[in-house]
Chain A
Amino acid sequence: MNPETIQFALDVAFWSCLVLVAACMGVVTLGPGNIDRLVGTDFGLVLTAVDLALFSARQETTHYMDAALLIAILSFLVTVVVARLLETGRVFY
């Protein structure tokens, strides 16, 4: 397949994934409870990492992949810490 087709596919995937991240931020804003906001944050950050990876492939550099890996790690940490905070009122015993 010619490179223009692949570039177009990566373009469409990048913008669609950005729309999905915006939808997750809508869950963070509207969500009925705090746990919904937590789940929306988790999915939004994972999709942000995927979106950065797609953007990196679209720009044909590898410079954004480190930021994507960091965001993936931070999404896990944020979710675990905030879940423990919501569960018990404190993070550490």
Chain B
Amino acid sequence: MNWLAWIRDFVGILLLAGGLLFAALGVFGLYRMPDVYTRMHGGSKAVTLGASMLLLSLLFLAPLSLGLRAAAILAFVFLTTPVATFVSARAAHRRREPMTEHTVCDELEAYRHADRDEEKEPYEVD
């Protein structure tokens, strides 16, 4: 069964390398992109995938007691990072953060106040 253990370690190191690559690309996108929305778009997906691959690699490389805890953290990160980015994007759009001049259309603009009652508005958004 020696070759089976070798394959397990190889898959783990491959997942480590891929996760580092994707996380680095996501953080690079935070510096490179021109816009708040594009920064979030580039960063959230790549960082979620990279963190998930890095935590999944511990299931192959580390003992089982550590790998299962890493799987728990993976489940939590995989569920919450898209939600957190969605909430930040919503806040950015309601604050009217400026978009880049290459923006083609903003479909959310028509629905800006549709989901809220203007009469019962408890705060000033802008």
Contacts and interface: CB of A to CB of B under 8 A. Distances in A.
B66 A56 contact: yes
A53 B61 contact: no
Contacts of B84: 42, 75-76, 79-80, 83
Given A65-B73, A69-B76, A87 B95 contact: yes
Contacts of A17: 20, 23, 54
Nearest to B123: A88
Nearest to A70: B73
Nearest to B72: A69
Interface in B36-91: 36, 39-40, 43-44, 47, 51, 54-55, 57-58, 61-63, 65-66, 69-70, 72-73, 76-77, 80-81, 83-85, 87-88, 90-91
A73 B76 CA distance: 8
B36 to A, nearest CB: 5
Contacts of B5: 1
Contacts of B16: 9-10, 13
Given A1-B9, A36-B39, A42-B81, A13 B54 contact: yes
Interface of B: 5-6, 9-10, 12-13, 16, 19-20, 23-24, 26-27, 30-31, 36, 39-40, 43-44, 47, 51, 54-55, 57-58, 61-63, 65-66, 69-70, 72-73, 76-77, 80-81, 83-85, 87-88, 90-92, 94-95, 97, 122-125
Interface of A: 1, 5-6, 9-10, 13, 16-17, 20, 23-24, 27, 33, 35-36, 38-40, 42-43, 46-47, 49-50, 53-54, 56-57, 60, 62, 65-66, 68-69, 72-73, 75-76, 79-80, 83-84, 86-90, 93
18 contacts: A9-B61, A13-B20, A20-B24, A39-B30, A42-B81, A47-B51, A53-B58, A56-B66, A60-B63, A75-B80, A75-B84, A76-B81, A76-B84, A80-B84, A83-B84, A83-B87, A86-B95, A88-B125
